[in-house]
């Protein structure tokens, strides 16, 4: 379904650009806007339809053991955040 919509929108934008050029008798900004929108519709048409690799089943919780213990006597530059780079 996504591919059909993408390719259909691409064809429509191309046709609108050609019709705008014919109607006004010159290539104007409206024609260019239609042409510049075509890469977005082509990207929509070329995206894979299989979303199973992005499912939420692979999300896991972090265990308490992986957390870094914070000690209260850390200095400002211990992790390199306040160290100037020259």
Q: What is the pLDDT of residue 23?
A: 92
What is the token pair recorded at 54?
């992005």
- Asked, for residue 10, whether it belongs to a domain, the answer is yes
- Asked, for residue 15, whether it belongs to a domain, the answer is yes
Instruction: Please give the residue range of the domain that contains residue 41.
Output: 2-48
Q: What is the mean pLDDT of each run of 10 residues along the chain (86 residues)?
A: 90 94 90 92 86 59 64 64 63
Q: What is the pLDDT of residue 39?
A: 93
- Asked, for residue 24, whether it belongs to a domain, the answer is yes
Pseudo-torsion of CA 40, 45, 46, 47, nearest 10°? 90
pTM of the model: 0.54
Number of domains in the chain: 1
Length of the chain: 86
Is residue 63 within 8 Å of residue 23, measured between CB atoms?
Answer: no
What is the token pair recorded at 60?
């896991």
Residue 6 three-state SS: helix
Provide the 10 A C-beta neighbour count for residue 13. 19
| Residue among 2, 1, 86 at smallest CA distance from 44 | 2
């Amino acid at each position: 379904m996504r591919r059909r919509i993408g390719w259909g929108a691409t064809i429509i934008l191309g046709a609108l650009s050609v019709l705008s050029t014919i109607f006004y008798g010159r290539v104007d900004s409206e024609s260019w806007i239609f042409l510049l929108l075509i890469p977005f519709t082509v990207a929509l048409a070329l995206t894979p339809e299989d979303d199973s690799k992005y499912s939420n089943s692979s999300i896991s919780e972090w265990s308490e053991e992986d957390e870094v213990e914070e000690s209260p006597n850390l200095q400002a530059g211990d992790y390199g955040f306040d160290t100037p780079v020259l």
